[in-house]
């Protein structure tokens, strides 16, 4: 095994992991704050991907230029989803909340997937821009520009989210709500509004993750489950409720898959990651960064 191959797969793994982290950020926010498990998160990524694909195809908008637009559109979509569906779930007690959100978002998976097939066809779509295949080389290692951009977007999004959570008034309300919504409500936090905005931000983050997916990977109606599963793994690895470790856990997952691809064979890279995930979950259910019994 040449060291160059390993070095290359390390770099690829880190870059892929950036996208995993980006997809997982929104899921972690929804779970951490609302205690809602949205398994349709991957479908929101898919919709974001289509939004940016169509903006590129019809208006010639570069995916980076359309990213704010996708953010706003998916933010609106998130508002709608919350008001229509998740609003009713957040009224219940935590255990029922998790179970029911799992179930209704699973129904949502079916609906969004079928609608995507109906309106966007089952074709795989990828945005190819002038820079899509550009890469710069550092020594023996090739770094594709679009994937590096994905990692950069992930880090920027994570820092922005962290800043919002720790420095803004809304972020304080958000943290209070995620710790104990009853006490937050008693101290005057408008819990429903916090839920609404947090869910919308979660959907918007899925949207910009979708932009990056349509650029560096491809979008089709059935990509959702794969991204959701990856995101779930990342969120659990980071520790449920922990926002800080998300990108790190994403990069970890990317690295595991990439190295497993080299050592075990490409067709078993996901299996290796899933098995390793189950093993880690068995021995450290609170994740890398979570507190025990949190």
| 106 in contact with another protein (CB under 8 A) | yes
Nearer to another protein, 89 or 200 (CB): 89
Read off the DSSP letter of residue 219: B
Residue from the set 5, 65, 83, 103 that interacts with another protein by CB under 8 A: 103
| 271 in contact with another protein (CB under 8 A) | yes
Nearer to another protein, 94 or 138 (CB): 94
The whole-angstrom separation of Cα 6 and Cα 255 is 11
Instruction: Give the SS3 label for residue 123.
Output: coil
The whole-angstrom separation of Cα 59 and Cα 232 is 34
Tokens of 27: 């899921």
Nearer to another protein, 6 or 276 (CB): 276
The whole-angstrom separation of Cα 182 and Cα 186 is 6
| Helix H or strand E encompassing 176 | helix 169-179
Q: What's the min distance (Å) between Cβ of 274 and another protein?
A: 4
Number of residues that bind another protein (CB under 8 A): 48
| 280 in contact with another protein (CB under 8 A) | no
| 281 in contact with another protein (CB under 8 A) | yes
Nearer to another protein, 10 or 185 (CB): 185
| 107 in contact with another protein (CB under 8 A) | yes
Residue from the set 229, 244, 248, 289 that interacts with another protein by CB under 8 A: 229
* Cβ-contact 207, 73 below 8 angstroms: yes
Identify residues 167-206 at the interface with another protein (CB under 8 A).
181, 185, 191-192
Report the DSSP beta bridge partners of residue 143: 136
The whole-angstrom separation of Cα 225 and Cα 232 is 10
Q: What's the min distance (Å) between Cβ of 95 and another protein?
A: 7
| 99 in contact with another protein (CB under 8 A) | yes
Q: Cα dist. 242→32, 116, 126, 179, 236 in Å?
A: 7, 32, 32, 12, 9
Picking from 246, 225, 217, the residue whose alpha carbon sits closest to that of residue 63 is: 217
Residue from the set 4, 57, 92, 128 that interacts with another protein by CB under 8 A: 92
Nearer to another protein, 151 or 223 (CB): 223
Tokens of 38: 């949205």
Interface region with another protein, contact rule CB under 8 A, candidates 60-68, 99-107, 165-173, 248-256: 99-107
């Amino acid at each position: 095994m040449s060291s160059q191959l390993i070095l290359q797969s390390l770099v690829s793994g880190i870059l892929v992991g950036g996208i995993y982290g980006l997809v997982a950020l929104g899921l972690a926010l929804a779970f951490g704050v609302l205690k809602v498990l949205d398994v349709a998160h991957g479908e929101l990524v898919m919709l974001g991907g289509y939004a940016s694909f169509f903006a590129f195809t019809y208006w010639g908008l570069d995916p980076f230029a359309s990213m704010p637009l996708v953010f706003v559109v998916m933010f609106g979509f998130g508002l709608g989803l919350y008001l229509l569906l998740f609003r009713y779930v957040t009224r219940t007690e935590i255990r029922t909340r998790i179970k029911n959100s799992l179930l209704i978002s699973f129904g949502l998976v079916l609906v969004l997937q079928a609608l995507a097939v109906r309106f966007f066809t089952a074709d795989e779509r990828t945005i190819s821009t002038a820079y899509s295949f550009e890469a710069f080389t550092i020594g023996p290692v090739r770094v594709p520009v679009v994937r590096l951009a994905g990692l950069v977007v992930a880090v920027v999004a994570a820092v922005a989210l962290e800043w919002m959570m720790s420095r803004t008034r809304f972020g304080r309300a958000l943290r209070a709500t995620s710790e104990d919504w009853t006490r937050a409500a008693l101290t005057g936090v408008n819990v429903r509004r916090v839920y609404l905005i947090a869910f919308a931000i979660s959907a918007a983050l899925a949207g910009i993750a979708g932009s990056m997916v349509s650029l560096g990977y491809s979008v089709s109606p059935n990509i959702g489950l794969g991204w959701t599963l990856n995101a779930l793994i990342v969120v659990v690895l980071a520790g449920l409720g922990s926002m800080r470790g998300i990108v790190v856990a994403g990069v970890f997952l990317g690295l595991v898959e990439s190295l497993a691809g080299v050592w075990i064979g490409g067709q078993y890279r996901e299996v290796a990651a899933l098995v390793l995930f189950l093993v880690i979950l068995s021995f450290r259910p609170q994740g890398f960064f979570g507190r025990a019994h949190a």
